[in-house]
Amino acid sequence: MNIEFRLAVPADAPHIFAIKQAVWPSESPKGQAYIAEVIALPDHATHLAFVDDTPAGFVDGFMTYTPEGLPRWEVDLLAVHSDFRGKSIAAQLVALSTETGQASGANFARGLVEIENIASQRTFARCGYTLENEHHALMVGSELLIDILILPPENTLLTPVQTINYRGIWVEGEYQKNSFLAGQVLCTRHAWDLTGAVIPTNDTTALKIAQELEFTLVGHYQWWKRSLV
Ligand SMILES: CC(C)(COP(=O)(O)OP(=O)(O)OC[C@H]1O[C@@H](n2cnc3c(N)ncnc32)[C@H](O)[C@@H]1OP(=O)(O)O)[C@@H](O)C(=O)NCCC(=O)NCCS
């Protein structure tokens, strides 16, 4: 069995689309043209794995900035087709993505992993990432039917992101009502897909505000991080 890895190019969008369909059959996926657009973004690096020339898995990574302005590599979407699991493909994909993040100047890399996802946790652990103990709730809001100017609080960071799964805004830092609303207004104005926030589960005030704004809980997650400096 021959396993090969390489950076994806936009023409690989059908491979990534097919792996996504196989791994998450119930999700309504973004189309191949959208995926090709994401692969081409200059701050992204998508790595693909092939087993005997058959597309087997991928990981997408991209750069964002912390509220303090530090470059940070997001190991965002990782998937290996079930026919090819248990061969360290995920670990090699994450290792390659991490190397790209380091070469691109990121201070650290991180991945958000669901609390029950043991295979993904082991992958990040094997790649030198360490677990942050704090549990988080991933909350997602949709479009707002109002279009008024809402400025976020000074210590809220709104980051526009374009991932393989969606286009939207991440809300970070201080969570006030206007933090979420400002994200949703931006998202609605651009007709993007969602506004997301990864909120510590002990921040009950922030969670309550998000719930009142009809953000829905996607699941419980922890950050895995690795320093790159
Ligand atoms: C997570 C995923 C990418 C791992 O792919 P993979 O190529 O099989 O991973 P690896 O072969 O590198 O192995 C991962 C580790 O998890 C372990 N593992 C796999 N399934 C496991 C399970 N059900 N329970 C416990 N450990 C498990 C493997 O033994 C291996 O451990 P090791 O590194 O200590 O040997 C793959 O399972 C997948 O696509 N899952 C669905 C999508 C998903 O969850 N993506 C990640 C979102 S963050």
| Ligand 1 geometric centre to CA of 71 (Å) | 28
* pLDDT at residue 187 tops 80: yes
Give domain 3-131's CATH superfamily.
Gcn5-related N-acetyltransferase (GNAT) (3.40.630.30)
- Beta carbon of 225 within 6 Å of any ligand 1 atom: no
Please state, in angstroms and rounded to a whole number, the distance separating the CA atoms of residues 166 and 143: 13
* H or E element that contains 189: helix 177-190
| Ligand 1 geometric centre to CA of 86 (Å) | 6
Supply the pLDDT for residue 145: 75
**Ligand 1 pocket test: which of 3, 26, 85 has the largest number of ligand atoms within 8 Å of its C-beta?**
85
Question: Looking at ligand 1, which residue's alpha carbon is closest to its atom 43?
Answer: 79
| Ligand 1 geometric centre to CA of 159 (Å) | 29
Segment among 85-99, 145-159, 162-176 with least mean pLDDT: 145-159
In the chain, where the domains are located:
3-131, 136-222
Parallel, antiparallel, or unpaired for β 71-80 and 216-227? Answer: unpaired
- What percent of the chain clears pLDDT 90, i.e. is strictly above it? 93
Supply the pLDDT for residue 132: 96
| Ligand 1 geometric centre to CA of 118 (Å) | 7
- Beta carbon of 23 within 6 Å of any ligand 1 atom: yes
Question: Looking at ligand 1, which residue's alpha carbon is closest to its atom 20?
Answer: 119
Closest CA to 166 of 13, 39, 38, 65: 38
Mean pLDDT of 142-171: 91
Question: Looking at ligand 1, which residue's alpha carbon is closest to its atom 5?
Answer: 90
Mean pLDDT of 73-82: 97
Q: For the chain, what is the mean pLDDT?
A: 96
Question: Looking at ligand 1, which residue's alpha carbon is closest to its atom 29?
Answer: 86
Supply the pLDDT for residue 149: 83
- Beta carbon of 86 within 6 Å of any ligand 1 atom: yes
Q: Are 39 and 62 in contact (CB under 8 A)?
A: no
* pLDDT at residue 147 tops 90: no
**Ligand 1 pocket test: which of 74, 116, 122, 222 has the largest number of ligand atoms within 8 Å of its C-beta?**
122
Q: What separation in angstroms does the CA of 90 have from each of 15, 85, 134?
A: 16, 8, 24
- Beta carbon of 3 within 6 Å of any ligand 1 atom: no
* H or E element that contains 192: none
Parallel, antiparallel, or unpaired for β 71-80 and 108-114? Answer: parallel
Q: Are 109 and 72 in contact (CB under 8 A)?
A: yes
Supply the pLDDT for residue 148: 80
| Ligand 1 geometric centre to CA of 112 (Å) | 14
- Which value, to the nearest 10 degrees, does the dihedral of the CA atoms of residues 160, 103, 106, 44 take? 10
- The interaxial angle of helices 204-212 and 177-190, nearest 10 deg, is 40
Mean pLDDT of 148-158: 92
Encode pLDDT of 11-40 as tens digits.
999 999 999 999 999 887 789 999 999 999
